[in-house]
């Protein structure tokens, strides 16, 4: 197997143009498992760990541009205040070793319905940056996932970054697995409040062929909060609102039975976690503990 190790993004993109079947490898925490179990035998590996452009994050017009090679550990240590939902999800990934190697870009590249980065990225306003030797484009996150472990990137493209608008209010993430650590989720939910534009964001994981939003739940809650003047008053969240939101998140799921859990359990878990995540986010909003609140 050929091993390509470019040291610039231009060289990496040229290599991908020349050998579209080359498999990118960043942290390798998914790729090495696939190779070890002989599930794939790509003609070449394209190692991206020496490409400095992928390993950085920056602010770009109020948005975070997170390089595809930034590890979970760095998201936790450096971006907890700006991207609380993604940082919470990152804390639940694997073990310290996996978080030190694994990246958000690799989670997107694998596009597993169970990937933990997806729900908070869906709940925020996110675009995935894809680059090839011929140019760069940005794909809205909810158009990125095209099927089970499939995404919108072309064979000649690399994921170079995700561009995320930090929510103007609190964001929460909830995941359930068969134990507390080193576990792939059985179901996951993220909820973001965007008081600046009076909108709500959601993302659900392990509950459909792809990670997805729950648009009916988002529209219901944003409208109900506005109708009741709750965005301004920050009064206690009526239980009926949380219950209806949870029911609509549940209705957005289309899970399967598998070794980790049944479809019925996943739907139940979605509703429980949606209610909890919303309740936590609303308490944060009421307490005004989020730095950017009201933005
Ligand atoms: C023990 C263990 C525990 C784990 N626990 C969790 C968990 O709790 N939650 C979770 O979500 N995941 C978990 N994972 C899976 C894995 O760690 C994550 O999916 C991680 O985000 C992968 O990142 P990586 O950089 O290691 O990707 P890699 O393994 O390098 O790549 C993953 C995929 O993305 C592609 N790819 C990588 N970079 C790019 C790029 N720039 N452009 C295009 N394609 C690219 C690769 O070709 C491959 O298909 C676990 C894995 C292990 C081994």
> Which helix (H) or strand (E) is 174 found in, with range?
strand 171-176
Ligand 1 atom closest to the Cα of residue 104 is 21
* Torsion angles phi and psi, residue 221, rounded to 5: -70, -45
Q: Where are the beta strands (DSSP E) in 40-123?
A: 44-47, 57-60, 63-67
Q: Would you state the pLDDT for residue 289?
A: 54
Q: 241 alpha carbon to ligand 1 midpoint, in Å? A: 36
Q: Would you state the pLDDT for residue 294?
A: 35
Q: Which residue has the tokens 């600046």?
A: 196
How far is 159 from 256, CA to CA, in rounded Å? 29
The torsion region of residue 230 among left (phi > 0), alpha (psi -120 to 50) and beta comes to alpha
How far is 267 from 253, CA to CA, in rounded Å? 7
Q: 195 alpha carbon to ligand 1 midpoint, in Å? A: 33
SS3 104: helix
> Do the Cβ atoms of 214 and 123 come closer than 8 Å?
no
Q: 105 alpha carbon to ligand 1 midpoint, in Å? A: 8
* Ligand 1: residue whose CA is nearest its atom 19: 107
Q: 108 alpha carbon to ligand 1 midpoint, in Å? A: 8
Q: 103 alpha carbon to ligand 1 midpoint, in Å? A: 6
Q: Which residue has the tokens 């950085």?
A: 56
Q: 234 alpha carbon to ligand 1 midpoint, in Å? A: 39
Q: Would you state the pLDDT for residue 293?
A: 40
Q: Would you state the pLDDT for residue 291?
A: 45
* Residue 171 CB partners (closer than 8 Å, separation 6+): 83, 84, 85, 88, 120, 123, 124, 190, 191, 192, 193, 201, 281
Task: For residue 154, give Cα distances in angstroms to 4, 77, 99, 174.
Answer: 19, 32, 27, 32
SS3 273: helix
Q: Which residues line ligand 1 (CB under 6 A)?
A: 23-31, 33, 48, 68, 92-94, 98, 101-103, 105-107, 109-110, 115-116, 153, 158-159, 182, 184
Q: 110 alpha carbon to ligand 1 midpoint, in Å? A: 6
* Ligand 1: residue whose CA is nearest its atom 14: 94
Residues of the chain with pLDDT under 70: 289-295
**Residue to mutate (ligand 1; options 91, 104, 110, 132; most atoms within 8 A of CB):** 110
């Amino acid at each position: 197997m050929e091993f390509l190790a470019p040291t610039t993004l231009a060289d990496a993109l040229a290599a991908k143009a020349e050998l579209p079947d080359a498999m990118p490898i960043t942290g390798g925490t998914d790729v090495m498992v696939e190779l070890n179990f002989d599930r794939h035998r790509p003609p070449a590996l394209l190692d991206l760990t020496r490409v400095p452009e992928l390993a950085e994050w920056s602010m770009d017009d109020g948005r975070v541009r997170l390089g595809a090679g930034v590890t979970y550990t760095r998201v936790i240590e450096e971006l907890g205040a700006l991207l609380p939902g993604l940082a919470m999800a990152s804390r639940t990934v694997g073990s310290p070793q996996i978080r030190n190697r694994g990246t958000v870009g690799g989670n997107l590249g694998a596009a597993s319905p169970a990937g933990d980065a997806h729900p908070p990225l869906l709940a925020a306003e996110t675009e995935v940056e894809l680059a090839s030797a011929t140019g760069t484009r940005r794909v809205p996150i909810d158009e990125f996932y095209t099927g089970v472990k499939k995404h919108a990137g072309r064979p000649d493209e690399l994921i170079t970054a995700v561009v995320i608008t930090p929510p103007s209010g609190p964001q929460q993430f909830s995941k359930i697995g068969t134990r507390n650590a080193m576990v792939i989720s059985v179901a996951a939910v993220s909820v973001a409040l965007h008081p600046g534009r009076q909108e709500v964001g959601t993302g659900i994981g392990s509950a459909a062929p792809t990670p997805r939003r729950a648009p009916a739940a988002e529209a219901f809650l944003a409208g109900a909060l506005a109708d009741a003047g709750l965005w301004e008053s920050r009064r206690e969240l009526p239980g009926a609102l949380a219950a209806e939101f949870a029911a609509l998140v549940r209705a957005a799921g289309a899970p399967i039975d598998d070794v980790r859990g049944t479809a019925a359990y996943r739907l139940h878990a979605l509703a429980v976690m949606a209610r909890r995540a919303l309740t936590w986010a609303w308490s944060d909003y009421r307490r005004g503990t989020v730095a950017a609140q009201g933005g």
